[in-house]
Amino acid sequence: MERIERHACFGGWQDVYQHASETLGCTMKVGVYLPPQAQFGDVPVLYWLSGLTCTEQNFITKAGAQRYAAEHGVILVAPDTSPRGETVANDPAYDLGQGAGFYVNATQDPWSAHYRMYDYIVDELPRLIAANFPATGARSIFGHSMGGFGAIMIALRNPGRFRSVSAFSPIVAITRVPWGQKALRAYLGEDPAAWKACDPLELLKSATERLPILVDQGLGDEFIASQLKPDILQAACAEAGHPLMLNLRPHYDHSYYFISSFIGDHILHHATALKLERSPS
């Protein structure tokens, strides 16, 4: 990994790295915040998945998360949202192609050549973090909007991999809303089984791990009724007996003003889980 940015921040370092991704077949950028505690030993890792149109820059410059990561002693890892480059397939719309990887493995042309964000987040990126940074084996995951969907979906599909999961304004009913239907149809085709395999509402029904899901949703969010539908997630968790902490925040919208207002609560949630000792399996 090649470091291309470094900024002193709350006693630690906000860095940006680039690397050649074998999974995605392109050069990827990743924001990595190293808290001051990382100077003295290994610390746990918290992965952030951003939303539509974002790069690694949005979270590291707008969320104000470094202050809390420094307080609790966790590494923050914020990758880009899709493969990038002139040879990587794209679409003129903001909600498909570059900047809109949706954290799935595409099976349809022309997307299947590069769009394997699920494998990148689950396998390749954690290996790189473990090999290059003072990281323990404890990890958690959270995200916003498309990234909130990705965080919940990935946590549900990989029991035991993460200590905790949370999301801001997640696209939870991915197969029932326009953003999700467009992306799944393009990346996965019309196969209902492929859609079901990445649908959090379906994954909740068969989840073998009851990892509590923390969600913050702004009630002033312009996408709440058409694209996000937190009431459907609430009903699905209740039916499955899956623990959900859903905070509905009056007046807050879909922006980083909302995220930065409650990011401290989420990092505390994850830091608490990351520092708990697990019983031997």
Structure confidence by residue, pLDDT tens digits, 171-186: 999 999 999 999 999 9
Report the pLDDT value the prediction gives residue 280, as an integer from 0 to 100.
Answer: 40
Report CA-CA distances (Å) from 63 to 24, 125, 209, 224. Answer: 27, 21, 29, 21
Q: How confident is the model at residue 61 (pLDDT cuts 50, 70, 90)?
A: very high
Over 90: is that where the pLDDT of 130 sits? yes
pTM of the model: 0.96
Over 70: is that where the pLDDT of 277 sits? no
For the residues 6-31, what does the mean pLDDT come to? 98
**Tell me, what amino acid is at 123?**
D
Decide if 201 contacts 236 (C-beta within 8 A): yes
> Which long-range contacts does 117-122 make (Cβ < 8 Å, 24+ apart)?
117/24, 117/81, 117/82, 117/83, 117/150, 118/154, 118/198, 119/23, 120/21, 120/23, 120/24, 120/28, 120/79, 121/47, 121/49, 121/79, 121/150, 121/154, 122/154, 122/158, 122/161
pLDDT tens track for 186-203: 999 999 899 999 999 999
Over 80: is that where the pLDDT of 279 sits? no
Report the pLDDT value the prediction gives residue 15, as an integer from 0 to 100.
Answer: 98
Neighbours of 211 (CB within 10 A): 19
Over 70: is that where the pLDDT of 278 sits? no
Rounded distance between C-alpha atoms, residue 5 and residue 38, angstroms: 18
Radius of gyration of the chain (CA): 18
For the residues 85-114, what does the mean pLDDT come to? 97
Q: Tell me the percentage of the chain whose pLDDT exceeds 90.
A: 96
For the residues 156-184, what does the mean pLDDT come to? 96
Over 80: is that where the pLDDT of 131 sits? yes
Q: Which residues are catalytic?
A: 145, 221, 254
Report the pLDDT value the prediction gives residue 275, as an integer from 0 to 100.
Answer: 85
